[in-house]
Amino acid sequence: MSKPNRFYFSAGFLSFMFLFLVQTGFSQTIPTHQQPNIVLLMADDMGFECLSIHGSLSYETPFLDELARKNIHFLQAHSQPLCTPSRVKIMTGRYNYRNYKAFGYLDVNEKTFGNYLQEAGYASCVVGKWQLNRYKQGTPDAQYVNRPHHFGFDEYCVWNFIGKGGRYANPLLYQNGEKLETTEEDYGPDIVSEYAVKFMEQNKDQPFFLYYPMILTHGPFVPTPDSEEWADPKTRQKRDKRFFADMMAYTDKIVKKLADKLDELGIRDNTIFMFTSDNGTHYSLTTQTTSGPFPGGKGTMPDAGNHVPMIVSWPNGGQEGVIYKELIEFSDFLPTILEAAGIPRPSYIDGESFYPILNGTSHQSRETIFVHYDPLRRGGNKRYYGRFVRNKDYKLYNDGRFYHVREDKWETQPLSAHDLTAEQLRLKIAFQLELDQAPPHHFKQSHEYNK
């Protein structure tokens, strides 16, 4: 008997076993490809107009521009109009009317992408802005300290966690159950991004998930370590809208820092590296663009409030220089991440996977997106509440306002029901049917939206 015969017998046996597993459905529980690392970065209060590749003349984002040009550049990604609603939606893949209970809180009964990936064997970590512990109902602080673990993260280094404190100079940060001791020399975004780098270093030999809801570029608008004013303690916390440009540049720098670390570790090819933002730019800021001045729309329901940048890099997916012009919404991230990891899609989520876009396979693009927005907060910008369904051209609100948003991006001229074309009427009826699928919800009266 020769050794080659024994080899072929083993290979045939293994082939038989593989076919048996596929036919019995067992293969649905294990990936048919190597599980990729997943890094998801989400800037805070950065609208679509802020990137120079999108026409910004006010800020410079050289690395993000390069990342967009060389990889997959999404032109129609839509978040929720405000931070917590977006975080709840992106982490669970579900619409806000299902699970949004209060501002600054994620229902402990929800399951996040951290939970799913942790169960699938991923090392998991969250760094940056947490903002999900606030809704206190007699809950001991110990439970808050463990809340990231509850939602599927092995490790964390986060701001906006327990107590009130700054996010930039001398930040109030918690790391794996311990409050960090910081000084005026310490910069919050540097501390959390360094923790992210160390997490990737320590887990480079196994699949990992890094979720980085960024601290930048949310107000207060203050100097960064690259600003001249940082050198003087007297001006380090000076507030001025002009520092937003420095904060944009520092965000770009941090994104590059993480991407460069993936290159250094030799794991960039099999890492899905995603960048987006949680909502539009703060409404006190106006960005100068190649198309003219663009006022920020954070907290509002027109595009300025929810149209956000989105870039994905995954060399192993084989997609380079792709511009994707179809619709994406925040509920789509979770099913995409699960499909990438080989995890079956739960039946109770609302999103649609865009994973086929990442590897160039056949994909049915979204025809519409759905946004339910009732921030349930005191103070702040209360001009907009409600629901809408839209495609790339038209948008229908729950109170009947219907806009041609391609021509009227500021939504100043609602279309009259008496002047609709046959196609516009067809779309309005279809959008209304989609709105009607959601359970009733009490919003402010429409005349209160535009005060």
Give the residue-averaged pLDDT of 378-383.
48
Task: Find the range with the poorest average confidence among 16-30, 127-141, 350-364.
Answer: 16-30
Q: Which amino acid is at 353?
A: S
Q: What is the pLDDT of residue 33?
A: 52
Q: What is the pLDDT of residue 447?
A: 38
- Whether the per-residue pLDDT at 30 is higher than 80: the answer is no
Q: What is the pLDDT of residue 15?
A: 42
Residue 394: both structure tokens together: 């038209």
Q: Say how far apart CA 241 and CA 222 lie, in whole Å.
A: 8
Q: Which residues of 307-341 are buried (b: 16+ CB within 10 A; e: fewer)?
A: bbbbbbbbbebebeebebebbbbbbbbbbbbbbbb
Give the residue-averaged pLDDT of 238-254.
98
Q: What is the pLDDT of residue 265?
A: 98
Taking only the tens place, the pLDDT of each residue in 341-374 is 999 999 999 999 999 999 999 888 999 999 999 9
- Whether the per-residue pLDDT at 379 is higher than 70: the answer is no
Residue 28: both structure tokens together: 């649905």
Q: What is the mean pLDDT of the chain?
A: 90
Can you tell me which residue has the tokens 């990342």? Answer: 67
Q: Which helix (H) or strand (E) holds 3?
A: helix 3-24
Query: Sorting pLDDT into bands at 50, 70 and 90, what band is 163?
Result: confident
Query: Which 3 state secondary structure label does DSSP give 418?
Result: helix
Is the four-CA dihedral 224, 227, 232, 238 of positive or negative sign? negative
- Whether the per-residue pLDDT at 180 is higher than 70: the answer is yes
Strands 208-213 and 123-129: parallel
Q: What is the pLDDT of residue 376?
A: 78
Give the residue-averaged pLDDT of 199-209.
98
CA 259 to chain centre: 17
Residue 278: both structure tokens together: 């949680």
Taking only the tens place, the pLDDT of each residue in 396-422 is 999 999 999 999 999 999 999 999 999
Task: Find the range with the poorest average confidence among 240-249, 301-310, 372-381.
Answer: 372-381
Asked if residue 302 lies in contact with residue 409, where contact means CB atoms within 8 angstroms, the answer is yes
Taking only the tens place, the pLDDT of each residue in 75-94 is 999 999 999 999 999 999 99
Question: Phi, psi at residue 361, to the nearest 5°?
Answer: -90, 175
Angle at 353 between CA 36 and CA 48, to 5 degrees: 95
- Whether the per-residue pLDDT at 174 is higher than 60: the answer is yes
Query: Sorting pLDDT into bands at 50, 70 and 90, what band is 442?
Result: confident
Give the residue-averaged pLDDT of 105-129.
97
Q: What is the pLDDT of residue 6?
A: 33
Q: What percent of the chain has pLDDT over 90?
A: 83
Q: Determine if the peptide bond prior to 439 is cis (ω within 30°).
A: no
CA 63 to chain centre: 19
What residues are paired with 79 via a beta bridge?
Answer: none
Q: What percent of the chain has pLDDT over 70?
A: 88
- Whether the per-residue pLDDT at 10 is higher than 50: the answer is no
Most confident listed range (18-27, 59-68, 384-393): 59-68
Q: What is the pLDDT of residue 314?
A: 98
Give the residue-averaged pLDDT of 129-150.
78
- Of 385, 217, 371, nearest to 299 (Cα)? 385
Asked if residue 259 lies in contact with residue 63, where contact means CB atoms within 8 angstroms, the answer is yes
Taking only the tens place, the pLDDT of each residue in 39-61 is 999 999 999 999 999 999 999 99
- Whether the per-residue pLDDT at 311 is higher than 90: the answer is yes
Asked if residue 300 lies in contact with residue 383, where contact means CB atoms within 8 angstroms, the answer is yes
User: Higher confidence at residue 163 or residue 122?
Assistant: 122
Taking only the tens place, the pLDDT of each residue in 213-233 is 999 999 999 999 999 999 999
* Helix pair angle (244-265, 62-70), 10° resolution: 50
